[in-house]
Amino acid sequence: MTTTPIDLCVVGGGLAGLSAALRAAELGLKPVVLEQSAEQHYLCNSRMSSCVFHLASTNVLSPPAELERAVQAATQGTAHPGLVRALAGNAERAVRWLQGQGVRFIKGSAAAYHNFVVAPPATHKEGPFDIVGRGGDVLLRTLEAALAKAGGSIRRGVSARELLVRDGRCHGVLADAGGAQERIEARAVLIADGGFQANPELLREYGISPDPARVVQRNAGSGRGEGLRMAIAAGARTSGMLGFYGHVLCRDALSSDRLWPYPWLDLVAGAGMAVGPDGRRFADESRGGVYLANRMAALPDPASAIAIFDQAIWDGPGAAFLNPPNPRLPDHGGTVVTADTIEQLAGQLGLPAEALADEVRRHNAAVAAGGLDRLVPPRSQGPLAPQPIATAPFYGVPVAAGITHTMGGIAIDEHARAQHAGGAVFAGLYAAGSATGGVEGGEHAGYVGGLVKACVTGLLAAEHLAAEGGT
Ligand SMILES: Cc1cc2nc3c(=O)[nH]c(=O)nc-3n(C[C@H](O)[C@H](O)[C@H](O)COP(=O)(O)OP(=O)(O)OC[C@H]3O[C@@H](n4cnc5c(N)ncnc54)[C@H](O)[C@@H]3O)c2cc1C
């Protein structure tokens, strides 16, 4: 066993971990980053991401009060107010800080919240692993180079396994370094392991899905909830464990890497409808793809739903946004079923024809004459407006929930400090990025964006530790 005295031991080399480590080094602290993967370009969600820096789909240059409102609206007022204020008040500073490290941003589309996209942009044209030299890969390489310049480094192939806690204060970790156990002492530990989306047992335990094997892993596979497990074992509090960020994907993405992370079917399912094997709707599609993916994941079979729409929707929302399903889905081998009538479509999809035709009739009547709120289940007014399913040919795409990252995790305050189960601050323990809970999560699964959250919480943790001095 060896002992390494350091200020901040960071668990995880994604954006949250590297932001914290680099900021700590800038402030004169000695950080070390432990990264479980031994690969040079280790896969993590930050490296795989599309690298759009936004807060609740709002331009990060918006006034903080507007950003706060956007986060509270996305999360239906359930987010921790102090955390929301911290994210909103530091979102612009975070992208400016990244620019100061040499990260270049471009405008990704005409949408206002696409104004900070890391250049050159990730395209995912050939699937999830088409990332080298773009987007998140460039982001992490830039930060790692800056960290090296500032005197820090990433220790690859070192997995944190257990928190060292004495008198209620965290003072390091026990880690596995290539099969050897290592005790790493530090003034403080930051957990930034990226969430628990790739841990089927935890997805089941926290009620996210009864059958995680039928949920598409729309992520790097590196977030297995080790940080959460260590924090709970040490007595830390969790928050908002239900809910994840994800999208509605083609069911074939369960077996084909050409069909994730794009295209999503959020917009076609939102304009049309999503039905279960009984031909009936089961969720409010108007609340958007993240919400719908959460409802799908909770079904007895998370890959049992079918998106139903028509030619007008396929040519409209189906061809809109980045990497749309029209034409990418059929081009990449995804199943798209078409028929001239709804009854024929039902026959080809193995759905009860009468039930599906009835459901489409009700949908069209509600769209034409109002009364979306009287549908079963009711449809809300937005953000995705329903359209009639009336222009042949009619379309059916078997879909599955795709999970990108969990929203719940270690409860933190506005300085990214973890808390004991009783609510008191957990001295010496911080958490950042997708390892944390308190912003999204819970019943409402409101997506606010993972990158701004990762960078801001990483910066805040480092700054708090530096300000705390040698205590
Ligand atoms: C396809 C895709 C597209 C996305 N697009 C966007 C987007 O455009 N905008 C946006 O805001 N968000 C986006 N996201 C989400 C965003 O990428 C994440 O929210 C964010 O990167 C999380 O950063 P993180 O540092 O918390 O976690 P990660 O980047 O996942 O990093 C965690 C790291 O911890 C390591 N680790 C895990 N356990 C241990 C352990 N025990 N010991 C040591 N190391 C460990 C992992 O190997 C990993 O490298 C996207 C995600 C994906 C997958």
* Sequential DSSP letters for 10-77: EE--SHHHHHHHHHHHHTT--EEEEES--STT---HHHHS--B--BTTB-TTS-HHHHHHHHHHHTTT
How far is residue 372 CA from its own chain's centroid?
Answer: 30
433 lines ligand 1 (CB under 6 A): yes
239 lines ligand 1 (CB under 6 A): no
- The interaxial angle of helices 15-26 and 81-100, nearest 10 deg, is 70
CA of 135 to the centre of ligand 1 (A): 13
The reported pLDDT for the residue numbered 2 is 47
Nearest CA to ligand 1 atom 40: 159
pLDDT, averaged per 10 consecutive residues of the chain (471 residues), comes to 75 98 97 97 97 96 97 90 96 98 94 93 86 95 98 96 96 97 97 98 98 98 98 97 96 97 97 98 95 97 98 97 93 98 98 98 95 94 87 98 97 97 96 96 83 98 91 47
CA of 239 to the centre of ligand 1 (A): 19
CA of 434 to the centre of ligand 1 (A): 7
| Domain at 245-403, CATH class | alpha beta
The reported pLDDT for the residue numbered 470 is 59
Q: Which two tokens stand for residue 361?
A: 């009739």
418 and 437 Cβ atoms separated by less than 8 Å: no
405 lines ligand 1 (CB under 6 A): yes
Among 193, 321, 406, which residue has the most ligand 1 atoms within 8 Å of its CB, making it the best to mutate?
Answer: 193
Nearest CA to ligand 1 atom 2: 49
Place of tokens 């507007």: 66
294 lines ligand 1 (CB under 6 A): no
The ranges of the chain annotated as CATH 3.90.700.10 are 245-403
CATH of segment(s) 6-241+407-468: 3.50.50.60
* Nearest-angstrom CA–CA distance, 146 and 26: 10
The ranges of the chain annotated as CATH 3.50.50.60 are 6-241+407-468
Q: Which atom of ligand 1 is nearest to the CA of 46?
A: 21
Among candidates 55, 59, 149, which has minimal Cα distance to 102?
149
Scored b (16 or more CB within 10 A) or e, 420-447 reads beeeeebbbbbbbbbbbbbbbbbebbbb
463 lines ligand 1 (CB under 6 A): no
Element (DSSP H or E) covering residue 126: none
The reported pLDDT for the residue numbered 265 is 98
Nearest CA to ligand 1 atom 52: 49
Instruction: Look at the pTM and tell me if it is higher than 0.75.
Output: yes
Place of tokens 């995680």: 212
Nearest CA to ligand 1 atom 21: 46
33 lines ligand 1 (CB under 6 A): no
257 and 129 Cβ atoms separated by less than 8 Å: yes
Nearest CA to ligand 1 atom 12: 450
Among 46, 107, 247, which residue has the most ligand 1 atoms within 8 Å of its CB, making it the best to mutate?
Answer: 46
Query: Which residues are 33's β-sheet partners?
Result: 10, 154
Query: Which residues are 32's β-sheet partners?
Result: 9
Nearest CA to ligand 1 atom 33: 12
